[in-house]
Structure 1
């Protein structure tokens, strides 16, 4: 394995950073549609016979593009850019999903040249069709959106407030397709196939269920969690047909091998890590409970649910906190009732789907599903609003995960073997995990100041303790959108500093080492003058004069009137104006620096 990795690293040739504008041809693998248009994942051919996966932004919904469509488009391909200082690493997220280039294409520069009619792509196209069928039913809008999410895996249709509420109450996994959903669908299929089993055709019934589950995995996009569940369920079915003993761990390892063989990058996806760690933890820590003999079946079922919930949380808590920086404290209160209700909602959704597709009235079933979802919605809303429902802003080194899982491993061994050595090692690793958390905890200065890169305005962020403010040249009517954009781009930075909000700085601000009066601010005895209009005056000694969008005068006037130590050309300047100013500063040997990120800026 190590030899293969070394050879692959030597032979790997990274793709060029920019591929010039020309016409490309490819096949659409995925389409996510929102208010800004369609976001297409396209497998396209490049010059030289190479292929690349491209995230294509297509800002229109008038021409709907479907998975499996062959398209031609004209655009310039760009590699995902590395993040600026303190910015979220969006490029790393794209790389983990196999995206090599991003591109923007105008509506009139994309044409659908054909449609793949193979069985695979026909199944993939069922996903939006299922959503459209459910939208025609008598379901309430919120119930319909929830049902589409848990049946097709398309949670993008849900409002942000709903996703946040489910996350805060500890049941966000319900919105992501997993073994729970596949298990319920497998049970429903088993009930449908019951007459065939009674007729003595058990093998045929099992084969049909396996094929149906494989089709479901393809329809939902072959996500790691669904693929893992289907492989494990198929292993059970094949073992039954061959009359062989079934091993849950062997099935889990088979799923790991199959998924990583076809998609090695899946190893770095949070969904893959959470899915497999949750199942492994359930298999390890639930076994002792199943050995307990409890005559009351209802009590046994409740205890089993409790154990499975705790075991899954033990396996995923550290990984989830590392990726999403939060931990729900009341996850048990929400999970047990929702896990009980979810099979009934899924069953009702499947009934509604087939009834609507065949033209049968199912108003009563829709009312029942609406009622069940209102209960789930009420549970998540109540728990999410409890005091201390969520621990936020959790940040720690990834190295902490190693002693944590060593703790779980030794804890499991101590439960199975009941030997002192395992109790001792488990205690030792618990201490090691705590020490690692404390030793690797990030430490930040009390205050920070930096200039961000934006296209239409110049902004600077200042943080003092848990308070963060934004100093911007944006017009007052645009400040809310600027704040929103910066909160998204710097959410990890704000979270790691325990700053939950970001606000616009007042024109006069004196706090910590920061002093601001209008367009002039001083931080740590360094003075900055933001120039966004043609009228400006000298304010005394200035270290940096920042030339922003809105200034259209002579750059030499700034050097003559303000006499700054250095002139900074902001990222929001028009490229031609920026280059003209840059040439003028070079000719007159005026100290300068460009904040724009493209090849001519130095």
Structure 2
């Protein structure tokens, strides 16, 4: 009797209900349903065990035993999510008094610092705080305890249309509150020495040593991204080039890099085989991989690859066959158990979907015996499978599709192992404080063709599709169709599978038609940003953007941040200039029946009242924009409250959107 796919993947029976429990806990964050699920699962399993006492009876009722296991898996997923959820704090007990916090991580910028801190004396589930400063204090490091003035605020979104949920993004990292202060208000008061702080400081020391080397800056940043796992040094132009050419995964520390490092370590410890210590060779390699995972911050893609390597090595040590899909599911289960919020991570989703698709489809498509042709065919097939499996997610999160990813992978991937091995040697040399000119030259030679290829492919107008807007329904239909296509491939005579696949296509088509016909193609928007007040007037594919309170506005950065809105409304070209519909008068702009008070306004509320009543039959509604400095914003809000002037602050209400009646056609 041929075993079923479920029997070949026993971890799937636990992982699927566990994920369902996580999703349910996000929607219903309560313990009552967890207790009900767990009680029903235990009671059902005990009842089935008592009813079917003989082995024959239990074998006959094996299908029914699945139901209580599913219920207990859902309960376990929900309980794990609720337990690991960060606790909230009462800001009334914290603010307006000195607060002592410990630095978990610190990032230095040109004239500011960004720190991840936690209140001292709290447990491991206490919330993290995003602390930003004006100015830098280079004496600070991870593990330091500092005292700050308590002015914490809950993290909030800007409220712009179609923007990324930044609040949820930080909440998934445990950050629920934020504060911005002057660096002179920081008062160091001690140091806590722990392993996370040591690893963080070690990463920063390695970054500083790499940056202090004579290597070209672009190559330095590339080495840091590939071996330390920190991509903030890579400039936007390089990121865009790699992303548009379809090889952005080279910049992100992932299974590709860990696989190459594993092979390097495996060859390095080859002499142990000649001494008859093969298991010792496996164990040392695994210890080195674990150390590398913790050193780089244990991102989901690296942990996934490390667990799969560990399962493979464990099979070799104990003479057991290894199932790559089972190892992948074990990795997913371990990551979600210790970090349920990773399920929302883009890296987690792309990493596991890509590897699962490659394991399912790629081996069935490779039928070449020649080694050279086999390598080319394997690279092409793997690239095509990876691209098609993540096409919907890439369009959903990044609003673009790279059409030349197969060509880019063929040209770039052969160079990556050589570069990574040289970079590993360079890292060891930097750790010892040395310098090798010939090694720097080789690294620069390897980097140059990768940079040239990605730069060339990214500038081809037909190599990338921009401004793609995909909804969650589209993503669901896409993956449902892939699963049904895989099932039809194995059982093409099942009419129900063909019917379901047709139904999925119909649902996707109706959703796209509804989106196209009900999306406004013209209107006006006042965006809420902290450094400017962009006012956009768009009509079909073109838009005029006027920024009355900023002379050096970054249009490219704005388009990148608002890519979802531009793609949603079909805006292909944004022009920066003055809109004749609006004028700036004493730091204020009249927008329909609103008076926008920008950061260029200087004065008191009586000056605002004169502007609101000048030449108008009715008083304009006052809107305090998000670009006003915090102290000035609070002062104007207090004056409006004192005089009784009704006002709205964009820091709470978000952007102002005025769509025209006309819809998409």
Query: What TM-score results when the alignment is normalised by the length of structure 2?
Result: 0.77
Match of 1:375 in 2: 449
User: Following TM superposition, by how much is the alpha carbon of 1:94 offset from its aligned partner in structure 2, in angstroms?
Assistant: 1.6
Alpha-carbon distance in 1 for matches of 2:124, 2:476:
42
Pick one of 649, 652, 658 that aligns with 1:595: 649
* Equivalent residue, structure 1, for 2:410: 336
Deviation for aligned residue 1:124: 3.6
- Shift in alpha-carbon separation, 1:219–1:3, aligned structure 2, 3 A: closer
Match of 1:53 in 2: 128
Q: 1:303 to 1:483 in 2, by over 3 A?
A: closer
Distance 1:416 1:43, change over 3 A: farther
Which SS does the other structure have where 1:444 is aligned?
coil
Deviation at 1:374, TM superposition (A): 0.4
What are the superposed Cα offsets for residues 11-35 of structure 1, whole Å, 9 maximum, x if unpaired? 6775557751433334433333333
Q: Give the corresponding residue for 1:569.
A: 622
Cα deviation 1:60-107 (Å, max 9, x = unaligned):
333244334444433421111133242623223222333211112321
Does the Cα contact within 8 Å between 2:613 and 2:620 map onto a contact in 1?
no
- Tell me which residue corresponds to 1:525: none
* Superposed displacement of residue 470, structure 1: 3.3
1:9 aligns with 2:29: yes
Q: Conserved in 2, the CA contact under 8 Å of 1:46 and 1:52?
A: no
Which residue of 1 is the match for residue 181 of structure 2? Answer: 105
What is the aligned partner in structure 1 of residue 487 from structure 2?
Answer: 413
Q: Are the structure 2 counterparts of residues 229 and 183 from structure 1 closer, same or farther at C-alpha, using a change threshold of 3 Å?
A: same
- Name the SS of the counterpart of 2:390 in structure 1: helix
Q: Does 1:189 align with 2:265?
A: yes
Deviation string, structure 1 residues 122-152 (Cα, Å, up to 9, x no partner): 3343322322333344422211211111111
For residue 125 of structure 1, give the secondary structure of its aligned residue in structure 2: helix
Find the residue that maps to 1:299 and give its secondary structure: helix
Partner of 1:446: 521
Report the more deviating stretch, 199-208 or 55-64: 55-64
Cα 1:246–1:461 change in 2 (3 A) is: same
- Which residue number corresponds to residue 639 of structure 2? 580
Residues 85 and 161 (structure 1), Cα distance of their counterparts in 2 relative to 1, 3 Å cut: closer
Q: Write the mapping of 1:8-27 to structure 2, written as runs, cut at 5 A.
A: 9-10=29-30, 15-16=89-90, 19-27=94-102
Question: Following the alignment from structure 1 to structure 2, what is the Cα–Cα distance between the partners of residues 187 and 49?
Answer: 36
Pair 346,17 (structure 1): closer, same or farther in 2 beyond 3 Å: same
- In the alignment, which residue of structure 1 is the partner of 2:373? 299
Q: Distance in 1 between matches of 2:612 and 2:501?
A: 66
Aligned to 1:495: 567
Partner of residue 261, structure 1? 337
* Counterpart Cα distance in 2 of 1:85 and 1:112: 38
Aligned residue in 2 for 1:242 = 318
* Contact persistence 1:72–1:113 (CA under 8 A): yes
- Matched position secondary structure for 1:101: strand
Matched, 1:209 2:285: yes
- Rounded to whole Å, the distance in 2 between the matches of 1:107 and 1:53 is 19
Aligned to 2:602: 550
* Match status 1:275 vs 2:347: no
Q: CA deviation at 1:120?
A: 4.9
Q: CA RMSD in A?
A: 3.3
Structure 2 unmatched ranges of 5 or more: 1-17, 32-81, 654-665
1:577, distance to aligned residue in structure 2 (A):
3.6
Deviation at 1:229, TM superposition (A): 0.7
Q: Secondary structure at the match of 1:307?
A: helix
Bigger Cα displacement from structure 2, 146-155 vs 34-43: 34-43
CA distance in 1, matches of 2:611, 2:344: 50
> What secondary structure does 2:462 align onto?
coil
Contact 2:402 2:465 in 1 (8 A): yes
Distance 1:382 1:266, change over 3 A: same
Mapped to 2, the partners of 1:388 and 1:350 lie a distance apart of 36
- Structure number with the bigger relative contact order (C-alpha 8 A, sep ≥ 6) is 2
Q: Which is worse superposed, 229-238 or 27-36? A: 27-36
| Local SS of the residue matching 2:414 | helix
**C-alpha contact (below 8 Å) 1:547/1:568 kept by paired residues:** no
Question: 1:161-182: CA deviations, max 9, x gaps?
Answer: 0000000000001111111000
Distance verdict in 2 for CA 1:219–1:65, change over 3 Å: farther
Q: 1:200 to 1:124 in 2, by over 3 A?
A: farther
| Residue 473 to residue 337, structure 1, CA distance change in 2 (3 Å) | closer
**1:29 partnered with 2:104:** yes
Higher alpha-carbon deviation: 449-458 or 25-34: 449-458
Q: Give the alignment of 1:13-162 within 5 angstroms.
A: 15-16=89-90, 19-45=94-120, 51-86=126-161, 88=163, 89-162=165-238
SS of match in other structure, 1:157:
coil
Within 5 Å, which residues of 2 pair with 1:483-522? 486-487=558-559, 490-500=562-572, 502-506=574-578, 509=580, 516=581, 518-519=583-584
Find the counterpart in structure 2 of residue 398 from structure 1: 472
Note closer, same or farther for the CA distance 1:531–1:28 as it changes in structure 2 (3 Å cut): same
Q: Distance in 2 between matches of 1:134 and 1:261?
A: 35
> Partners in 1 of 2:131 and 2:489 — Cα distance?
51
Task: Measure the CA separation in 2 of the matches of 1:316 and 1:456.
Answer: 35
Tell me if the contact between 2:104 and 2:196 (Cα under 8 Å) persists in the aligned partners: no
User: In the alignment, does 2:587 pair up with 1:532?
Assistant: yes
Taking the aligned partners of 1:126 and 1:544, their CA distance within structure 2 comes to: 53
Cα contact 2:408–2:454 (8 A) shared by 1: yes
Q: What is the alpha-carbon distance in structure 2 between the residues aligned to residue 300 and residue 27 of structure 1?
A: 53
- Give ranges in structure 1 of 5+ residues lacking alignment: 510-515, 520-529, 587-591
In 2, Cα distance between equivalents of 1:314 and 1:131: 36
